[in-house]
A and B are shown apart, each in its own frame.
Chain A
Amino acid sequence: MFRQLRARFGGPLAAAILALLGIWLIVMVTLPQLQMIDYSLRPNLLPAQVGGPEDGWTLANYVTLFNNEIHRAIFFKTLWSSVLVTLLTLAVSYPLAYYLAKLASPRQAALCILLLIIPFWINEILRTYSWFIILAFRGPLNEVLMMLGLIDRPIRFLSGDAGVMVGMVYAYILFMVFPIYNAIESLDDNQVRAARDLGAGTLRTHRRIIIPHAKPGIATGCIMTFMLAAGSYAVPALLGSPGSRWFTQIIYNWFFEGGNWNQGAAYAFLLLVLCIGFMSLVMKLFKVGLGDIAK
């Protein structure tokens, strides 16, 4: 590897490239992850006990989750809710991505993309916070619904998972729209026309031509959205209530309230495994490789 780099960039630059890459991949990416796993496999000890007889590898921190009914429930709630958020986001995003890629004129598409990017550049916290205002007990949504006579009493949107999910769909929608848009855009218009010409209806054209073509984009969008949803701390913290806690909040509590980093590391690792598992599943279902995911 160094030989190829040196042939192109000369010795000093090649060395610098490898050094930067090495520092990143080893010191910033790999070692911290390994250290986290190591932490998760050790008991939480006082500094004096470190290196003592109790300091050894154990699965105790993982057993905790298995035994703690509340944590277990929250873990699976996080899993199902994240899947649901992913599906909702996909449903909301697909028509828009299709419109941008195939129906909008180039000018319209460019404008829409700019409009899409702007909220994406705004803080996740602020985006979530705006929903906090809207969904508040005495907030505008309740007012509007009451004015329309649809409800006669304000609803507590912020006390269940619904508010969290609405906020998440809103926060991660762009991670779904853009990959799908890019994928559909690369589809030759003539293929759609040919399908129509051969008598396929709108739904069939989507099912047989467009969706298969957009598969890598859909897979990427789903993987990103699921990862962001399952790993979100901001949205459940702002829009959730104590009754609708997210797994990330449990992890946070182990670190900064329970003071048990080893336990927290084990939970964090389980979250990572969950995301990797989901990613592998999607990649298998959609038959796409890692190369398709980051283009």
Chain B
Amino acid sequence: MSSQRLMGWALRGYVVVFFAYLFLPLLVMAAATFNDSRFPTVTPWDGTTLRWFGELANDRGMWQALTNSLIVAAGVLVVAVPIGIATALFLNTVSSRAKPFLYALILSPLLTPGVIIGISTLIFWRQWGVSGGIFLTVLGQATFIAAYVMLMVTARLQRFDRTMERAALDLGASQWQMFRRILLPYLKPAIYSAAVIAFLQSFENYNTTLFVVGYDTTLTVYIASKVRTGLTPAVNALGLILILVTVLLAIAYEVKRRRETRVPGV
């Protein structure tokens, strides 16, 4: 066997180990859900139970946090998606000497630690008498999620053939009609993808949320506080449900995305 093929096989072995490393922790956590132990663990195994799901269902704090998370995520969609689309359209249209500077500013929320976005949002709104809560959580999260939306919309916009726009105008469409009927339908897949990503980013966000959430605990913050204080396998049950929902979403999204990329875009 040549050294190159040896390297190839070593690499394949590495990939297997890598994916084990990636998924084992999640499996351990899932397994601990069914362990009839007061603490979340798989060793020792004290018998199999489903009671942690029942306990979770009775946790009113959890339901409240879930509601808050959904409200925040919806708010983030409403704020971040239009901003992201507008920014992508802006970058695609405008050429100006100020553009490199603006582009750096637009990217900056992606390169800023989440805690700092949370802190600056909290400080800024204090002078207007707004303290931590759902409103600030939406603003704080949307600040950087808008940049993700922008990146995804831009990726598709760059492949748009602008003669379509000229053709629409030439056929008598107003600029608004052109946008509504030609450009927006073209961007739709990217906008949907961006909305899914934005929703998930919001739902799982912790670092920014921690500073701006006030008393309106979101699910992520709730889980974190549970882990540090009253730790029971009910947290695992919640984790398991979230993982399953996420996996289903991920697969649905991926299937949809692949179906779309098969259709020629232009």
Residues on A lying within 8 angstroms of B by beta carbon are 1, 4-5, 8-10, 12-13, 16-18, 20-21, 23-25, 28-33, 35-36, 39, 92, 95-96, 98-99, 103, 110, 112, 114-119, 121-127, 129-134, 136, 138-140, 143, 170, 173, 196, 201-202, 223-224, 227-228, 230-234, 237-238, 248, 251-252, 255, 261, 264-265, 268-269, 271-272, 275-276, 279, 290-291, 293-294
Contacts and interface: CB of A to CB of B under 8 A. Distances in A.
A234 B143 contact: no
Contacts of A140: 28, 41-43
Interface string B155-185: 0000000000100000000111001000000
Contacts, number: 256
Sort chain B's interface into a size bin: 35 or more
B28 A29 contact: no
Contacts of A238: 224, 227-228
A31 B124 contact: yes
Nearest to A36: B120
B109 interface: yes
A126 B219 CA distance: 11
Contact of B250 (A117, A143, A272): A117
B210 interface: yes
Nearest to B210: A233
A33 B249 contact: no
Interface of B: 3-4, 7-8, 11-12, 14-15, 18-19, 21-26, 28-29, 32, 40-43, 82-83, 86-87, 89-90, 93-96, 98, 100, 102-117, 119-124, 126-127, 139, 142-143, 146, 151, 165, 174-176, 179, 200, 203-204, 206-207, 210-211, 220, 223-224, 227-228, 235-236, 239, 242-243, 246-247, 249-251, 254, 258
Given A21-B83, A138-B43, A139-B41, A126 B113 contact: no
Q: Which applies to chain B's interface (DSSP): helix, strand, loop or mixed?
A: helix
A17 B238 CA distance: 40
B11 A99 contact: yes
Nearest to B233: A133
